[in-house]
Structures are given as structure tokens and as C-alpha cells.
Structure 1
Amino acid sequence: MDHKGSADLLLRVTEFLYREALYQDDHRYDDWEALWTDDGVYWIPANGDDIDPEQQMSIVYDNRSRIALRIRQLHTGKRHAQAPRSRVRRVVSNIQIGETGERGVQVFCNSLVFESALRADTLWSARTEYWLREVGNDFRMSRKNVFLTNNDQALFTLAFLI
């Protein structure tokens, strides 16, 4: 890929990540859910980053149907950890393109999420890995792995989408 092509890909990926962050921050869960492929997997490991989610506990390890169920649950208004719902804002940075190929585009970024909730204000820091597939003129997430900086410690309930 030439340099111009790389710059164009990075711009398109960056715009996608910013849109995803906006949907999450504004609690636009249906729009966020539409960003996933049918075989998407959403993973937030617990107790370190180098674990097998099939063998060890994770904070979240959702396939596509579980992602849809999580969204439906948020719509019920019965997620008491989110009553009232947290106010959140994300900063996404250090966006890097990894591998590209049949699997799609591998993307890495850092994020900082400020959450303001009744219990306290909390900062969540993470390194996130995405696998994005091109669908038409846009991307869809086939995998999102969120490696929280402090995932080896006791954490408050994550009742919002990180």
C-alpha cells in the first residue's frame, strides 16, 4: 500500500472510531449496535490481558446475540446500576493500523473514559484492539477487545458500554 493509501485508511478508521465513541457517549445504543458485523465479538478481559476468554473469567465476552441482548436490557430502564444513567465522555488517541488482509483491518488505540455517576467520578483507561471489515463505504466491527489498564484490580460495575 502506498503512503497516500495508508493516510486515507487511517483517516477513515479514525472517523469510524470517533463515531463509535460519540454513539457510546450519547447512549445511542441502537446506532452503536449497527456498527457490528453479524459474527462480532466484544471482549473485556479481567485479571490481566493474556488470558483465554474460553477458560477464564472476563468482564465481558459477548457474541453478536449477547451484544443485542445487552442493548435490549439497556433499553428497559431496569439496569439499576445506570439509574440515573452515567454521563460519559471518551478521548480516543494513538490510533494505529496493524495488519490488513482477509480478516479486515486491525486497529489499535488508547482511550480514556470519564464517567460521572452517583457513586463517584471515575476514569477508565484502556488500550483497545479492533478488527474492522469494510461493508460498502464504511466499516463494521467484527472484534473489539478492550484491555482496561486496571483490569487486575477490583472494579466498579461497568453498566455502560466501554
Structure 2
Amino acid sequence: MPDLTKARQFLYHEADLMDRHAYDDWLALWTPDAKYLIPCNEDDYDDRLHVSIVNEDHAGLCDRVARLKSSSVWAQRPKSRLSRIIGNVRFQPTGPDGLVGQATFNLTAVRHGAIDVIAGRTEHRLRATPSGLRLVEKTVWLVTIDDVMPNLTFLL
């Protein structure tokens, strides 16, 4: 069974990679069967029935990282300065090599003198691999799920 302390450290590491725009290192945290979701407008969200802010598999994550690394992302010129706090981290085993967990986050993004605060909770499904823990699935539930949102052209 994966170590729960290592799972918490994994979330902190993921947050640090996102804040530093370390896109390739962040992408390396994912399994090939990855699923990344950011729902919108529905508390009882079903990705087969509802529109999403983000609904990507591993190929979609690769495309997202390639776009973020390119010079064509005008909404991130210059890149936002990011700082997030992860809290209320809880994990439970889901079998011999899996964990499912929840956490809350508070992200401050600063760009061109504008400050955005983005808050929410995440659900992570992790798998132990020979290379360490890897992300299988991540859902980001934004507090502002049904409100006007700031520019989200960075990783959540």
C-alpha cells in the first residue's frame, strides 16, 4: 500500500511544479491513462453530460503543455506569478497500489499588477508505480464554479 505521507508530499510537489511553470516535470507526474477535469456550472457534474472548463486525457495534457511552453500563449506574456497553498489533505487506500484523496487550495496569481485569488478543492487518484506515485485522475472543483472567472491559462 502506498505511503500516505508520501501522497501528501506528492501534492505539495505537484503544486510547486505548477507554480514554477515546470510543465514537463508536471506532465511526467501523470500516467498514460490520465484524466484531468475542471467542471463548470454543476455541483452534480457528470463529464459525459456537462460542459467542462477542462476535460482532458493524457494526449490533451501533452497538447496543453506544448501550448503553455510555446510563444503563442499571449494571455501568459509575461507568465503569471503563482503561489498556492494546499491544505486539508486526506488520502485513503483504494487497493494495493492506489490512493484517492482530497485537498483544498488557495492560489494567488499576479500578472500586470492584477491579483486574482482562485480557491477550490481537488480530488486526486494516485497510483504507486516503480517510478513512484503518479497521477491517474485529478478533478479541480473551483469555488467560483458558477461565477465569472479570471484568466485560467495556467495549471490548476
TM-score, normalized by the shorter chain, greater than 0.5 = yes
8 Å contact from structure 1 (residues 98, 108) kept in 2: no
Deviations 1:131-155 (A, max 9, x none): 0000125110000000001111121
TM-score (norm 1): 0.90
Where has structure 1 moved over 2 Å in runs of 4 or more?
Answer: none
Asked if 1:62 corresponds to 2:56, the answer is yes
Task: Report how many aligned residue pairs link the two structures.
Answer: 156
Alpha-carbon distance, 1:103 to partner: 7.5
Which ranges of structure 1 fall in alignment gaps of 5 or more residues? none
Report the 3-state secondary structure (helix = DSSP H, G, I; strand = E; otherwise coil) of the residue aligned with 2:31. strand
Cα distance per residue 1:8-38 (max 9 Å; x no partner): 8221011111110110011000000000000
Give the corresponding residue for 2:77.
83
Identity %: 34
Residue 16 of structure 2 corresponds to which residue in structure 1? 22
TM-score, normalisation: structure 2: 0.94
Note the residue ranges of structure 2 that are not aligned, 5 or more in a row.
none
Match of 1:136 in 2: 130
RMSD of equivalent CA atoms: 1.7
1:160 and 2:133 aligned? no
Which structure carries more relative contact order (alpha carbon 8 Å, separation 6+)?
A: 2
Secondary structure of the 1:125 match is: strand
> Matched residues in 1 for 2:43 and 2:26: separation?
24
Q: Which has the higher helix share?
A: 1
Between the aligned partners of 2:65 and 2:100, the Cα distance in structure 1 is: 25
CA contact (8 A) 2:116 2:150 kept: no
